[in-house]
Amino acid sequence: MIKIMSDAMKSVRIAAMEELIGTEIKVLDKGFVRLIDYMGDDAAIVQAARVSYGAGTKTVNEDAGLINYLMRHRHTSPFEMCEIKLHVKMPIFIARQWLRHRTANVNELSGRYSVINNESYLPEIEELCVQSKGNKQGRDVQIAEERAKQIQQYMQDHANETFEQYDNMINNDNLARELSRITLPQSTYTEMYWKIDLHNLLHFISLRNKPNAQKEIRDFADVIAEQIVKIWVPHSYNAFMNYKMNAVTFSGVEMAELSQLLDKEKISAFIEANSKAKGELREMCEKLQAMLNKQ
Ligand SMILES: Cc1cc2nc3c(=O)[nH]c(=O)nc-3n(C[C@H](O)[C@H](O)[C@H](O)COP(=O)(O)OP(=O)(O)OC[C@H]3O[C@@H](n4cnc5c(N)ncnc54)[C@H](O)[C@@H]3O)c2cc1C
């Protein structure tokens, strides 16, 4: 039996992540994200990517370069080598959006088994905004403050009333919990354990930390990205920000339009000057050439 061990094969523990385990990071008024466990790090991603030619981890710079390359070229499977398990508490209307991400493993609190806590989400006054005209799924400017206060009070009263009835049905009528719960509002908090690999987590963040996503799920996605992923896999986080979150894609029609707006001579000169370039610069020249060809 031959055993080959390298440092990259040892179970990885990251000091800042160890410190974070168990800590509730507050989101919204009563929600949280809590790190339960994690597997792998940036080195695990490069180790998996290099398996084809048997080389282990190289220098930090080479590793970061390889992660950039993988992210840029959508070579996604090495990112699946890292996994994370979170305990999340969110309002039901956010859980409904969250659970659309099918590539995670989930175990949610059961309203059939447990009595649900009297906890519901109450938006801040400044979040009570009018329907957006441009984005049919979004909100616009804040409602007049006086009216916003009344609406907030109504939301609170409604939640209190339904929870009072819920308690009555459970405690005085002994109505089954699975039926008593059906009157509770969508703002009621639920909890789940959520385990996902890094590739699919980044996909989740890319969809839910964008301005067109609902503000409340954006808050969760932002906490996960900035307070967990960034310290867990910093090179992957940087690559993700650069090549996904801060990148822009143009359609064929848009590229043709764009090529009309830009100085073609300057672009051709740039391509010519970098004709021997390698890596990212070469890829940029190829993209610029493709745009010129669209005219
Ligand atoms: C801003 C916003 C608005 C939205 N509005 C609505 C709405 O109005 N109504 C609504 O119903 N949904 C809505 N959604 C949900 C959306 O349509 C997706 O279901 C959700 O974002 C999950 O995306 P996903 O399928 O890529 O992710 P995941 O389920 O995590 O899947 C990741 C990837 O795995 C692959 N995959 C997973 N499962 C399958 C499968 N069964 N077959 C083939 N490929 C699969 C796909 O490539 C997919 O992209 C909205 C999402 C966003 C971000």
Q: Point out which residues pair with 271 in neighbouring strands.
A: none
Asked if 10 and 43 count as a contact pair (C-beta separation under 8 A), the reply is no
Examine the pLDDT at 7 and tell me if it is beyond 80.
no
Kindly report, residue by residue over 143-179, the tens digit of the pLDDT. 999 999 999 999 999 999 999 999 999 999 999 999 9
* 256 CB near ligand 1 (under 6 Å): no
Residue nearest atom 39 of ligand 1, based on CA coordinates: 102
What is the rounded radius of gyration, in angstroms, for the C-alpha atoms of the chain?
25
H/E segment holding residue 189: strand 189-197
Asked if 139 and 110 count as a contact pair (C-beta separation under 8 A), the reply is no
So what's the pLDDT on residue 294? 77
Instruction: DSSP letter for 22, please.
Output: T
So what's the pLDDT on residue 58? 64
Instruction: DSSP letter for 188, please.
Output: B
Residue nearest atom 11 of ligand 1, based on CA coordinates: 100
The share of the chain scoring above pLDDT 70, in percent, equals: 94
Number of H helices, E strands in the chain: 13, 7
The values of phi and psi at residue 9, to 5°, are -85, -15
Site to probe by mutation for ligand 1, drawn from 97, 100, 199, 216 as the one with most ligand atoms within 8 Å of Cβ, is 100
So what's the pLDDT on residue 40? 96
**Among residues 34, 50, 181, 208, which one is catalytic?**
208
Residue nearest atom 17 of ligand 1, based on CA coordinates: 100
- Find the range with the poorest average confidence among 120-124, 129-133, 205-209: 129-133
282 is catalytic: no
Distance 209 CA to ligand 1 centre (A): 14
So what's the pLDDT on residue 290? 86
* 135 CB near ligand 1 (under 6 Å): no
Kindly report, residue by residue over 127-146, the tens digit of the pLDDT. 999 999 988 888 999 999 99
So what's the pLDDT on residue 223? 98
Task: Give how far Cα 295 sits from Cα of 26, 164, 265, 288, 291, Å.
Answer: 51, 66, 14, 12, 7
Residue nearest atom 19 of ligand 1, based on CA coordinates: 100
